[in-house]
Structure 1
């Protein structure tokens, strides 16, 4: 968990140097019911990107599962819930 905090702090420092202070370019965490939904098109494009970067079928399946892009029994990806 602290790793993501360190990455966020690094990005904030980097964005602050010569680019003005603030959160420019750093994505905020999605939270609660106000969070925008992940669209079917975004999931499709993410799956294609993972497949393009995977070294094989097993690698692709593992990456899709880790990222929540594998559909469940109802056909929806965990990333969309």
Structure 2
């Protein structure tokens, strides 16, 4: 159990949060790392593997921003 507490404290320090409280909110888009095409592909595969059926998969992909818009850009990559 102490291992998970140590990991959480490390992650909070890495994200700039307070180990005793809630991590701080990122200031803007400049701080946010870009999502690669490979990450999108792997996320889609993970969603498909966990979905109960095709409709569930489509809804989850849409909610997560993994469905390309009219311009062919995934919302998660904007």
Q: TM-score, normalised by structure 1?
A: 0.65
Task: Please state how far the C-alpha of 1:76 moved relative to its aligned partner.
Answer: 1.1
Long gaps (5+) in structure 1: 1-13
Number of aligned residue pairs: 64
Root-mean-square deviation (CA, aligned residues, Å) is 2.4
More helix by share: 2
Q: d(CA) in 2 for partners of 1:77 and 1:32?
A: 16
**Aligned equivalent of 1:62:** 59
| 2:53 is the counterpart of 1:53 | no
| 2:77 is the counterpart of 1:80 | yes
| 2:22 is the counterpart of 1:25 | no
Long gaps (5+) in structure 2: 16-24
Q: TM-score, normalised by structure 2?
A: 0.68
